[in-house]
Structure 1
Amino acid sequence: MVSSLPIILLVLFLVVLSPSSGSPSAYDMLEEFGFPRGILPQGVKGYRLDPDGSFEVLLSGDCEFRVDGGGYLLKYRRKITGKVKSGQLKGLNGIRVKVLLFWFGIDEVLKSGTDLQFSVGPLSATFPSSNFGECPKCRCGSRCDTITTAFGATELVSDS
């Protein structure tokens, strides 16, 4: 019995450290901080959120889609990082927007009432939060169905 104790402790330790299927998704976490889930595209594989608000979101690959209404083209990298607190996403890396012929990094997103303010360097644009109720689907040609349904568990908290 004494020799099996280390094995039992190891199994218990691994169970406690493994992400549970009941963990909130990255989309749920966005809503907890006051943001609509549609500011992230479909297909989040997992995320990490540190106690200081630093985060990392992983997509299955780079993602590109056009935003209706403004005609902006958005590009999300496979890994998105930044810092979050209630109503604020700051220090964003991995999200770019094409305005006319130029690409700019989206640095921060602030929630103000029912609007979202997106900052690109010294410039900003404000849109109603209701524009982001649904998660956009990445443009991926004929492979879209395969890419958006083929997510497995990761070492991060899984959104599947």
Structure 2
Amino acid sequence: MDSVKICCVVDSVEDCCVVDGVGDCCVVDGVEDCSVVDSVEYCCVVNCVEDCCEVDSGEDYYVVDSVEDCCVVDSGEDYYVVDSVEDYYVVDSVEDCCVVDCVEDWCVVDSVEDCCVMDTAQNCCVMDSVEDCCVVDSQEDCCVMGQCGGMLCGG
């Protein structure tokens, strides 16, 4: 689509370098230090709140429809894919992502396979795999586990 812009995984919004191709994405400390890389893994759909990027969906792409759907990048390895500005994801790497519905929903994971889809912030587990996910009633009831078996884990 003509409106497609490919942005960079950067340390701050001000460091974003916009390039022309899907494979041309920059990881920069500053705009002046922009270097072109080949991997789409470095791409994030954010320039700034006023200028969101829209890219094709896929493993390394994140689609936004409006300025309200903007991603905010905290570091070169972290990204946030959102449906609205109220939605956010806490992740450890580009490969890590959780799907949630609102700002109260969050999940800290080690890999995309560890993602837990939930309704509220109180229903979150740090886990080894999605099969081990334990939905609990409060954050205090959440624990790191290898197997959950449907039980509540006391904090």
Structure 2 length as normaliser, TM-score? 0.28
Structure with the bigger percentage of helix: 1
- Relative contact order, higher structure (CA 8 A, sep 6+): 1
Structure 1 length as normaliser, TM-score? 0.27
Larger Rg: 1
